[in-house]
Amino acid sequence: MIDVFTRFETLRARAEAPALRGALRLPDRALRVLSGRRVVSDGQTLDPEMQMVLRMRRLLKEPPVEQLPLPAGRMAMRRQCRLAGGTQPIGSVRDLSAAGLPARLYTPTDPSTDAAARGPLLLFLHGGGFVYGDLDTHDAVCRFLAERSQVRVLAVDYRRAPEHPFPGPVDDAMAAYTWAREHAADLGVDAERIAVGGDSAGANLATVLCLRAREEGVPQPRLQLLLYPVTDFSQELASRFEYAEGFWLTKTFIDRCRAAYLPRDVDAADPVLSPLQAKDLDGLAPASVTTAGFDPLRDEGEAYARRLSDDGVEVQMTRQPGLLHGFANMVGASSAARAAMHEVVAQLRTRL
């Protein structure tokens, strides 16, 4: 049955890709007409490309991944990310094992002399609600970051819930960071110029990795690069309600992933789950925090950026007001998503 579904997903992707990319390449006026009436919320206007993505999803009657059985949902997310991410150029890609975990090293096409000889590295932890993502869902994201920043990227496929709930993914993230520092020479990078980053659930793991490193006396990374991070399982801020339905990431998805990731007896306010609840954040690595305006996770990401700043951590906080959660995975289809990711790339290059 899974093989049949895989073939179906492949055929569906081949059929949908030209339609999506063709629609998003329409002139601005045509795109606005076809995407429908402008969506305005909280003083923000939804980007017409994002609005078209949502409209096409409705027209194609595509079920959200959280409504599918887990194996099928994981395949569907992989297909969606490949469709929206496209084929991004990269110098080379090498599969390897990092701390016993599947990993993928992305080396840019024409790295600078410094990058070729012990240059910087970004350890990237994928999103997907701790349940759905993998190396393939975020392949385009990692290619884009590596090639455009001229920084090597090491993506690590940590164990996922519900098979491996908290703290399994946190332990894997910490093990991968330790492994990268210990094997920096083999990776061709400088152990003192390693950043950690990720999107959504992966951004949560990146920042709690910094908390764990502080507690264990491990050197902090050079930067924590956080894209629309999950920062609090213990409360729901206003954007969770404002954008609960109709803006890609849904309350149903969040609730399903929360149930899969959190054991029943765990304290949701534990800072290693909810870094926004940490007593203090001083001593953590400098941070780049990027949020999306139409995202249920927007307010907790921005609250975390303010907490970092209040506790003396240097922070660059950027809101992309017209974009949706998951825009990093849309670099192959959306010019607005690419522009936002170019800003992320600029911050990565500046810090590393």
Residue 305 CA to residue 310 CA, distance in Å, equals 9
Task: Looking at the structure, tell me whether residues 99 and 145 fall in a common domain.
Answer: yes
pLDDT for 101 beyond 60: yes
167 and 33 within one domain = no
The Cα–Cα gap between 163 and 142 comes to: 25
Examine the domain organization and report whether 102 and 76 are in the same domain: no
pTM score: 0.91
Same domain assignment for residues 261 and 290: yes
In which band, very low, low, confident or very high, does the pLDDT at 176 lie, cut at 50, 70 and 90? Answer: very high
Catalytic residue among 200, 239, 274, 288: 200
Q: What pairing do the DSSP bridges indicate for beta strands 119-125 and 189-199?
A: parallel
Query: What is the reported pLDDT for 37?
Result: 82
pLDDT at 1 over 60: no
- Same domain? 46 vs 112: no
Domain residues for the domain of 148 are 88-351
**CATH for 243:** 3.40.50.1820
Calculate the alpha carbon distances from 96 to 135, 176, 182, 192 in Å.
12, 12, 15, 21
267 is catalytic: no
Look at residue 110 in the predicted model and tell me its pLDDT.
73
Q: What is the mean pLDDT of residues 152-166?
A: 98
Are 54 and 190 contained in the same domain?
A: no
pLDDT at 117 over 60: yes
Please indicate, yes or no, whether residues 204 and 170 belong to a single structural domain of this protein. Answer: yes
Mean pLDDT of the chain: 91
Structure confidence at residue 33 (pLDDT): 61
Show which of 32, 59, 81 is a domain's final residue.
81
More confident residue, 110 or 79: 79
Count of domains in the chain?
2
- Cβ atoms of 341 and 144 within 8 Å: the answer is yes
Q: Are residues 291 and 227 in the same domain?
A: yes
- The verdict on 111 and 13 lying in the same domain is no
* H or E, element range at 55: helix 48-59
Q: Out of 47, 172, 325, 334, which one is annotated catalytic?
A: 325
Q: How confident is the model at residue 9 (pLDDT cuts 50, 70, 90)?
A: very low
Reading the block at residue 10, the tokens are 């492949």
Show which of 47, 81, 115 is a domain's final residue.
Answer: 81
Out of 239, 295, 299, 334, the active site residue is 295
| 241 and 101 housed in the same domain | yes
- Tokens 């992933």 belong to residue: 257
- For 309-320, what is the mean pLDDT? 98
Q: 78: pLDDT confidence band, cut at 50, 70 and 90?
A: very high
The verdict on 267 and 307 lying in the same domain is yes
Mean pLDDT computed over 307-328 = 98
Q: Is 234 considered catalytic here?
A: no
Kindly indicate the confidence band of residue 31, based on its pLDDT and cuts at 50, 70 and 90.
low
Point out the domain boundary residue: 81, 105, 124: 81
- Percentage of the chain beyond pLDDT 70 is 88
| 342 assigned to active site | no
- Predicted confidence at residue 10, as pLDDT, reads 47
Give percent of the chain with pLDDT exceeding 90: 83
What local confidence, expressed as pLDDT, does residue 6 receive? 45
182/314 same-domain check? yes
256: pLDDT strictly greater than 60: yes
